Structure 1
């Protein structure tokens, strides 16, 4: 796959700002440029960015309804009411439930947790869940990572004498549910300075407020930050502002002293000897936690995340690992089937979206298949299957396109929908699938930009090999943790040559291990180009070529800098 390379050279104003910033901080002007791109223009802002501080977290009571939520929780504990912690079955929901349950459980015992079954109850607050609460004497439900649209269900709970506190981060509708308190910084009447918290992040802020109100030391909360980091990475929320502080300290916790449940997953993933990064969470830890809700029941993930005995946690981790293997097999089969359907679609070249419906597909994996389709075809994708008499599904988007708005445009055809910019869930009557496909395509065609429909690599800076030295790399590492809005920088170097020692590697000879030089220094740079062995023949001709890449530490040789090469092009 040859990508389009997109590089926007800095303006004169940006150049001056980055030079001034790098001079003041004593770092490379290239890194000054990266800071300016991230909206950081003063040395004070840069120091806050490089050294996040927990005291810079916002006051949780700035969030609308926080005082009401804390009062209601205090009242429930004072009256010895039974409390139920309820959450979604994905990583964000299960980590949120584990966090709130573990914190409250230190001070109060009349508490339980509940995760709805993806297959029998579906997404969000269910009447089945409310009935369970009623039967077990619950009078307060704290719902996490869902609930913002559960108007009917929360009305039903109220009739049964059950109060709700909602902790959510999904986009609300015009009508809010009749809950006692709604903690969601995406409310129209929001008063909180940061609106991109994960569902688990909202739960953490609630517990921070509860701790402040009850004179509990903040340091009793910090061991729970590993769960917040896992939610932030897995739910793909921006890693700037408050999320950056939470992710930074959450990763520290995950590496130094993870909770027993997460330690068991880390060991199962083979990550115990390595420094865990956000991408390890995205590709290894998160999918295993998610597999529980996809294949069996998300409650098993919470059982693991709240486990206090390591041998039991390891047992549960092995079980969840098995679910993940099953998930991988289903994912592979369904993606192949989906690709075959797409290949047969009429007029694919002129379509701007993909909507597929197959009654046989496994509901737990359709979100992953939608993600695969957006990666392969660079179009927003909706994948639907049949649940009872409904077509239910997941939508995923390409960079920069708001798929939630596209779905909202079709709301009259839907029974239910929810989500955010890049991912959403929806359900409709089976007979509406055709009309939805048409309407969704019309909206996407009218709103998607040409650059959102092709494989583009955004390049942050053009540099030479002489710019890459241990000091540069050490300063670059301070940009961690990486994620949306603070992506891992991609660099470009022109006119590089094979040093003569590059070779094809891998079980199927699919990768290239490179040793490269440019004509501006004597630096020999090591690199790896995954899945790009087709370029090996050109590289060996001794002609020059251009590369774009990220810079990482070689995991096999500590301290050695390695280029992770994204794309290779012959020099024009």
Structure 2
């Protein structure tokens, strides 16, 4: 396929060794961006193209559209975080955030990011000028989103999804009632107080084991996805290399982590706020997914951080 080959080149994906991560985080977002904020037929034309020049033009257009999508998404995410921090209480079991004019094409992605940070079922609602509300929700494995929506079904013009993701349409007058009922449903499922999504660690590792051959062994388990998630490792008592912390897009944190003389690059997507709030000391515990990296500023194995906290005593086997 000419279109996919050209898109992979534009997205800096090695077409000879494509992985599910390349599809999920590089190719897929560029193809989806057209339908999210412009015209989905652009992606269709690229996939059907048999002409190299046309494919190159369309791939560059999709790449630019994806950049626009990222900018829109970041603006909505920052608006939502600001609003949530102003009114969400520590004992609140759910989050419903709404605003006039939010782009409906990005609210699902924003809901996923808010779930990751706040660890509570989330609905992001976009209100249009006519008072029509489109909503997208996300929840963790410890919460049944559709069960909660079924308890609010009379409020919606339409809704659907599954236990982890759902969408809805309703009138703006119903938002406050929905927020209250959704909170009651969440409180009932959680037994009265919010329940963070449990973090499952597959193995405790020393950083000396983070070598390319480990990545090669883990890659034998591919493809990763629902029902076969990437292994999460933990390193205890590591150190953040002084002067290595960099924040980009006001959301993500890059750093270097060391232990017993071994240094690894690390990246924590959407981790900036948590990182600064926790005031990390000299020693930290890191939950992460090990991955290979060819970026010139990275070490050959990079830690994709899942969680980071001040160091605690190493658990006994």
The answer to whether 1:570 aligns with 2:314 is: no
The normalised TM-score by structure 1 is 0.46
Return the structure number with greater helix share.
1
Q: Distance in 1 between matches of 2:238 and 2:64?
A: 45
Q: Distance in 1 between matches of 2:160 and 2:300?
A: 45
Paired residue for 1:294, among 16, 32, 36?
36
**Paired position in structure 1 for 2:123:** 382
CA contact (8 A) 2:37 2:105 kept: yes
CA contact (8 A) 1:295 1:327 kept: yes
CA deviations over 1:411-430 (Å, ceiling 9, x no partner): 12211112222221111133
**Paired position in structure 1 for 2:291:** 552
The 1:449/1:285 distance shift into structure 2, 3 A limit, reads farther
**Paired position in structure 2 for 1:530:** 267
Q: Distance in 2 between matches of 1:284 and 1:512?
A: 22
What is the CA-CA distance between 1:570 and the residue it aligns to?
Answer: 2.4
CA contact (8 A) 1:406 1:444 kept: yes
The 1:536/1:312 distance shift into structure 2, 3 A limit, reads same
What is the CA-CA distance between 1:284 and the residue it aligns to?
Answer: 2.0
Q: Distance in 1 between matches of 2:235 and 2:246?
A: 29
Unaligned runs of 5+ in 2: none
What is the CA-CA distance between 1:563 and the residue it aligns to?
Answer: 4.4
Q: Distance in 2 between matches of 1:455 and 1:270?
A: 33
**Paired position in structure 2 for 1:354:** 95
Paired residue for 1:514, among 246, 251, 257?
257
Task: Report the secondary structure of 2:126's partner residue.
Answer: strand
Count of aligned pairs: 299
**Paired position in structure 2 for 1:339:** 81
Please give the residue correspondences for 1:417-456 in structure 2 after superposition, counting only pairs within 5 Å. Answer: 417-448=159-190, 453-454=195-196, 456=198
CA contact (8 A) 2:289 2:304 kept: yes
Q: Distance in 2 between matches of 1:449 and 1:484?
A: 27
What is the CA-CA distance between 1:480 and the residue it aligns to?
Answer: 1.6
Q: Distance in 1 between matches of 2:81 and 2:54?
A: 40
The 1:373/1:307 distance shift into structure 2, 3 A limit, reads same
The 1:550/1:328 distance shift into structure 2, 3 A limit, reads closer
Unaligned runs of 5+ in 1: 1-258, 518-523, 540-544
Q: Greater Rg, structure 1 or structure 2?
A: 1
Q: Distance in 2 between matches of 1:508 and 1:310?
A: 38
Give the CA RMSD over aligned residues: 3.3
What is the CA-CA distance between 1:443 and the residue it aligns to?
Answer: 0.8
What is the CA-CA distance between 1:431 and the residue it aligns to?
Answer: 2.3
Return the structure number with greater strand share.
2
Q: Distance in 2 between matches of 1:410 and 1:262?
A: 42
**Paired position in structure 2 for 1:285:** 27
